[in-house]
Structure 1
Amino acid sequence: MTRGLEIDCDELVEIVTDYLEGALDADTRRRFTEHLDLCDGCDAYVEQMRDTIRLAGTLQQDELRPDMRDKLLAAFRGWKADTAPPP
């Protein structure tokens, strides 16, 4: 397999959080960064994720309108339910 293509774009999206948190093992991190070197779309995606994390970290609870807070909480509750393994 061509260097940098050992991880495809779909797999990269699935493990981006682990990458940003420094939770990948050395081999997976190497394959991840090699993919970023070759894939402009994934490189842009990772930068967008970094920006989102940085900006979200600056929000204060009192800066968020109650209706927006409720919408965000509902979206995350739905996301959790969508990703839960079957019983």
Structure 2
Amino acid sequence: MKGNKVTTVTKFDTQLKQIKLEFESEYEWIKFDDIVGGFVMLTDLERKVLQILYNFSHSKRRMPTIPELEIKTGKDDKTVRSVLNGLGYIY
């Protein structure tokens, strides 16, 4: 996906360690290491939330709730939702 399109994280593949990004009818798989390694510039909090989402989905086989993310990050509801929105996560 080229350009500045707003994409949505729609799937985590924990075996291949990658995420699926979708925009309209297009999609792209990106390796988690590429994102964390600097492929996409993320703030420290965005990187932390993405790491929590990945680890949580891998260990618990489900995505965390907003209150669980508040506990894990130590941030309030508004901040967590803002970060999820910035990552393209639908909550």
TM-score by length of 2: 0.30
Query: With CA pairs under 8 Å and 6+ residues apart, which has the higher RCO, 1 or 2?
Result: 1
In our comparison, the structure showing a higher alpha carbon Rg is 1
